[in-house]
Amino acid sequence: MNVLVAEDNLFTIQQYKHILEKKGCKVTIAHDGEVCIQKFDDAFMKLDPTSLESGPFDVVLIDNNMPKKNGVEVAREILKRSPKQRIIFASAYNIDSILNASEEVMRDVEILQKPFSLNTMIAKIQTRK
């Protein structure tokens, strides 16, 4: 699986990388919202025109609370480019308030409430909606 992970906590991102790579995933890392979009765009440009809609990654794992651009903004931009890109939202914030704030984005994303076990994350990534 090809996974893009956006997370600002250095420890957390290393742990994600470690476990995902162990499960045989190819992991791309972004430390903030802007870098996440950059990395997405880089991959998006190299895509085969037939799979533009479903996006360049199997899963994009986004932390909501990031510097420069928050998770909702990042998700919105990604969905603009690839409406069928699978996105998992990881957040310690009250999920309901995020859902209310940006319903149209949150309809198309999956939720993973922090703190979660890394195995739960793997299970979530490996199971399709």
Partner 1 sequence: MFKKTKTSFKIGGSVGIIILLLGVTVMFGMYQTSKVSNEIIKISEEYVPLYEIVSEIKFQKSIQKLSLEKIIRFSETSSDIELEKTKKEFWITGRNIDSFIERSKNIVDVGMDLTNSEITKKEFEILAQKLSNIDRTHNQYEKLVTDLFYELDNFLLLEQIQTTENQIEIEIESTLSSLSGLTEESTNLIEDNERNSLYGQIVIIIIVGAIASTLGFFISQINSDLKKEVDLKTFELKTANEKLKELDKRKDEFIGIASHELKSPIQPILGFAELARAGDIDQKEAWDGVLELANKLQDLANVVLDVSKIESNRLELQIEKIPINDLILEIIKSLKINLKKPVIIKENLDENIIVEVDWIRIGQVFRNLINNAIKFTPKGTITIETHVYSDENKIQFRISDTGLGISKDVLPRIFEKFVTKGLKHEERSGTGLGLFLCKGIIEAHGGKISAQNNFDGGATFEFTIPILNKEQIQRPPELSTK
Please report, as ranges, the residues that interact with partner 1 according to CB under 8 A: 8-9, 11-12, 15-16, 18-19, 22, 32, 65, 67-68, 92-93, 114-119
For tokens 């914030």, name the residue.
93
Cβ closest to partner 1, residue 108 vs residue 110: 110
- Minimum separation from the CB atom of position 101 to partner 1 (A): 13
- Minimum separation from the CB atom of position 2 to partner 1 (A): 21
Q: State the DSSP H helix or E strand holding residue 26, giving kind and residue range, or none if neither.
A: strand 26-30
Cβ closest to partner 1, residue 68 vs residue 81: 68
SS3 112: strand
- Cα end-to-end span (Å), the chain: 15
- Minimum separation from the CB atom of position 44 to partner 1 (A): 24
Cβ closest to partner 1, residue 11 vs residue 49: 11
Determine the Cα–Cα distance for residues 129 and 125; give it in Å rounded to an integer.
9
Could you tell me how far CA 26 lies from the centroid of its own chain?
14
Cβ closest to partner 1, residue 16 vs residue 57: 16
- Minimum separation from the CB atom of position 126 to partner 1 (A): 17
Determine the Cα–Cα distance for residues 61 and 15; give it in Å rounded to an integer.
13
Determine the Cα–Cα distance for residues 125 and 80; give it in Å rounded to an integer.
22
